A and B are shown apart, each in its own frame.
Chain A
Amino acid sequence: MSDVVLHAARSDRSEEFATALGPDFEKQPNRIWDRARSVGEVEAELRRLRESMEERRQEVERVRARTTGLIETRFDDAVKQVFGQIAEELPTILAELDADLERVVIAYLRANEVPHTVTRQVSRKTLRIPPTVHLPAPLSEGLTVAIGQAKRLEDGESLHMAHPLVLAALDEARTAGSGSFSVRFRLTKNAPAALRNRSGARGRLALTRVSYRGFEREDRLAATAVFEDAEVLRPAAAALELVRMPCEDITPPAPALVLTPADLDEVVDEELFFDQTQATQAEGDAFEKAIDQLDQYMEDRLLVLRRAREDTSVRLRDAEEKRSAALGADARAKTEGLLRQLEAELEELDANVERLIARDDDDYGKWKTHAHKRRYEPPQAERLFDLEFVIA
C-alpha cells in the first residue's frame, strides 16, 4: 500500500532526491565556478556542496523511510482491520435488516387485513400474497417475495428497501403512524426490568427523529417516556424498547393523565439538548481532523516558501560577495541590479510567509468556514408521534 501511495522505487532514488533538493541544486556548480578564484577554492566549495548534499540526502531518506514505515504499519493495518470487521459484521447486519423489513411488511399486511403466508427455508423466508383489493396496484395483483438470502432465487423476487411493498408499508406507517394515540403496551418475556417494574403504570411517550447532517449523515430515534408520577423512564434505551412492545389502541385513559403534553415536551427538549453532546462526539473528532488537515495544508505551503526563502538568502549572500569582488563600474552595476532583484524577491517571500502564518488566505478561509458549517449544523428534530400509554 505504501508503495502505491509514495510511488514505488524503481532503481537508485536519484531522481526523487534531485526533486527533493529543488531546482536550485543544478545551478550551484555553476555558481561555484563563477565565484571561485582558484582551483583550491573550487575544490573546497565542491567539498562543502557534497557535504551539504549528503546531509540533505540523509534527511530526505530518513523522512521517506519514516513515512513509508508509518503508512505500512498504520495504514495497511487499518485497511485490513476495517475490511475484516466488515466481513465479520455484515451477515449479522444483513440478518437484522431482513428481520426489520419483515416486521414492517407483516405489520402493514396485518393492519390492512391482507391475507398472506410465510414459509421458512434454510436461508430465507418466502412471503406469498394472493391477489387482494386491500393493496394498491400493482401489488393488488398478488406477489411472492423472498426475505433473506437472494442467491439462487427461483420463486419470486427479493425484498429490499426500494421494493414497492416496503415503500407502501413505510408510506402507510408514516401517514397512519404519526399524530397522537392512546395505547396499551403488553410486555413480552424479554422486556427489560425497567419496564417490567412499571407494570400498570400510565404516562406519555414521544418518538422523535433527530437528523444530523454534518460530516456524517445520521438519523437518531429518540424515545422519551414520562410516567404519571413525573419520573422519566431510564435508561433512554428502555423507552425505545417500550415502543417495540406489542400494543393495542385504547380510548384515552380515565381519569385523564395529570401529566400534560407540555410536560412531555419539556422532557423531550431536555433529552434532545443533552443528547446532542453525545450524538455529535464523532462529529467533533471529524471536525478536528478536518481543521488539522487544513492547517497541515497551510504548513506545507509555508515550508515550501521557507525553503525558497533560504535559497534566495544564499543567492543574496553570493551576490553581495560578488559585488564586493567586482572590478569596475559596469560589473558593480550588474551585481547591484541582481542584488535589488533578490532583495525584492526576499521581501515578497517574507510577506507571503507572514500572510500564511496569519492564515490570511482565501482558500483557508473558505474551507474553514465549510468545516465549521458541517460541524455545527443544527440537527432537525421531527416528532413522529406521541402516545398516552398504559403498561398492561
Chain B
Amino acid sequence: MTRQEGTDVALKLLHTADWHLGLRFPAVEREQEVRLTRARLEVVGRILDLADSRNVDAVLCAGDLFNDPRPEEEWWKGLLKEFQRRSWTRPVILLPGNHDPLTQNSVYAPRDPFRRGLPAYVYVVDRDDFTLELGTTAVVYATPCRSRAGQTGLAASLPAREPGDDRLRIGLVHGQTFDLKDHQTTFPIAKNAAIDRGLDYLAIGDTHSFREVEPDARVPTTYPGAPEATKFGETDAGHVALVFFPRDRARRALVERASVSVWKWKEVSCGSLEELRQLRADESLRKTVLRLTLDMRLPLHEYDEATRILTELEGSLAAHPKVGVLTTERDRLRLDVTDSSAFTEGLPDVLQSVVRRLEAKAAVEPEKAERAIHHLFRLVQEGR
C-alpha cells in the first residue's frame, strides 16, 4: 500500500546513497574485480526488494548513484533493468551527486537513453527547485549537484517552511557536513540546515559510512553510507536507512540502519603461522574482500605450510578459493634458512652441497636463495 492510495498511516521511507555503479577496482585481479563491480548492482536489487518488503512510501537515493556522469552501458542498463522489472507506484527519487552531476550530457539528461527508459515511478532531480508531494501529508524537496565540486550549500537552498504548512518536509541533497575532520568540504551542509529549513528529515549522501550527523538533534540528518563499501576502512558501509515518521509531529523521525551488503571488507595482518591457520578456518571469508599482510619468518616446514595455506586461500584448478577477493602482501613472509639443510639428510652429496651453498648465498641474495631452497624442499618431499 502506498501513500498515493490515500492511507492515513505514518510515513515510511527508505534512504540510500552512494551506489557508485561502475566503480573499478584496479588493485585486484580482473575476475575478482568483476565480482565487486557486479555486487554494486546486485545490492540495488536488494535495496529495492527491501523497500517492497518494508512497504515504504518512497525511496530516496541521495546522489553518487553512478561513479561517473557517463557510466558504461552495462551499468545504466543494469540499473534500468532493476527498475523496469518492478511495476511500482511507490516513488523512487534519483539525485545527481558530485560523482554523477547533472550536466547536459550526463546519464540524467532528458535525451539520455537511461533517462528515457526510466519507468514513471522513478523521478530524477533535474531542477534546483525539485518538489515531489507524497500524498497530501508529506513533501520532498531536493537540489542536484551540477558539477564535481562546489562551494554552494545545497541544503541551504531548499525552501523554508511557510507558515501554516504542517506537512512532513523531507530534504534531499548531496554534500558534506562541516564536522568531518581533515576533509576539504565540497557542497557543504550546515549542521543546523534541517532545522533552519523547517524540515522533518534531511536525507544526505556522500560519506560512505552510515552516520547520523547529530544523533540527538531534534531533526535527523543522516548519511546512509554506501550499500557496498568502495575501499578498505569504510567501517560502517553496507547499510541503508529506514525512516519512520510518527503522525505525532512532536515526535522525532525514527531512523534504523538495515544491512544490505554482499561483501565485507577486512584487513588482516598475520605475524605467526598460528594466526594464518586461524584465518584459514574462518568460514565467512568467501564473501570477504581481504587484504592480507604477512609478517613472519618461518623454518622450512612451517614456511611450506604457510605457502600451502596461501594457495588454499587463493584457490587453484583443484579447489575453490577460500577467500572471495584476496590481495596479499607477502614481501615479509620470509624463510628462516638456519638449519634448513636438515631435510637433505640421505640425499645425494650433490644436493646436500647445493643446499649448503644456497644457505651461504642467503646472506647476499636472501629472496632468491630462500625461494630456491623451498623449491628444492618441495621436490624432495614429493619424491619421498
* B367 CB, min distance to chain A CBs, angstroms: 24
Q: How far is the CA of A292 from the CA of B46 in the complex (A)?
A: 15
CB distance from B384 to the nearest CB of A (A): 11
Count of chain A residues near B, Cβ 8 A: 40
B162 within 8 A of A: no
A245 to B9 alpha-carbon distance, docked (Å): 30
Judge whether A265 and B9 touch: CB under 8 Å: yes
Query: Residue A266 at the B interface, CB < 8 A?
Result: yes
Given contacts A274-B254, A306-B317, contact A266 B50 (CB under 8 A): no
Contact call A60/B45, Cβ cutoff below 8 A:
no
A256 at the interface (CB under 8 A from B): no
Say whether, besides A262-B8, A376-B52, A376-B53, A292 and B286 are in contact (CB < 8 Å).
Answer: yes
A interface footprint on B235-258 (CB within 8 Å = 1, 0 otherwise): 000000010101110000010101
| Set A277, A296, A377: member contacting B320, Cβ < 8 A | A296
Judged by a CB distance under 8 angstroms, whether A359 is at the interface is yes
Least CB distance, B284 to chain A, in whole angstroms: 10
Given A276-B54, A375-B53, A376-B50, 16 extra CB contacts under 8 A: A63-B318, A262-B247, A266-B9, A266-B248, A273-B54, A274-B256, A277-B242, A288-B287, A299-B320, A303-B320, A357-B31, A358-B38, A375-B49, A376-B49, A378-B54, A379-B53
A55 part of interface (Cβ distance < 8 Å): yes
Provide the residues of chain A in CB contact with B242, threshold 8 Å. Answer: 273, 277
**CA gap between A273 and B56 in the complex, in Å:** 9
Bound form: Cα–Cα A375–B50 in Å: 9
CA distance A262 to B8 in the complex (A): 9
C-alpha gap A269/B259 in the complex (Å): 21
Contact B9 A378 (CB under 8 A): no
Q: Footprint of A on B, CB under 8 Å?
A: 8-10, 12, 31, 34, 38, 45-46, 49-50, 52-55, 242, 244, 246-248, 254, 256, 258-259, 262, 286-287, 316-320, 382
Let me know if B54 and A55 touch, CB within 8 A: no
Q: Which residues of A contact B53 (CB under 8 A)?
A: 276, 280, 375-379
**12 A-B residue contacts at CB 8 Å?**
A58-B382, A59-B316, A265-B9, A266-B9, A270-B254, A273-B12, A274-B256, A291-B262, A292-B287, A300-B320, A358-B38, A379-B53
Q: Please tell me if A56 contacts chain B, counting CB pairs below 8 Å.
A: yes
Q: Are A270 and B286 in contact (CB under 8 A)?
A: no
Q: Which residues of A contact B259 (CB under 8 A)?
A: 284
Residues of A bordering B, CB below 8 Å: 51, 54-56, 58-60, 63, 262-263, 265-266, 269-270, 273-274, 276-277, 280, 284, 288, 291-292, 295-296, 299-300, 303, 306-307, 310, 357-359, 372, 375-379
Question: Taking A274-B254, A372-B45 as contacts, is the C-beta distance between A266 and B246 under 8 angstroms?
Answer: yes
- In whole angstroms, how far apart are the Cα atoms of A300 and B55 in the complex? 37
B50 partner residues in chain A, CB cutoff 8 A? 376
A237 CB to closest chain B CB, in angstroms?
A: 20
A269 and B10 in contact (CB under 8 A), knowing A296-B320, A358-B38? yes
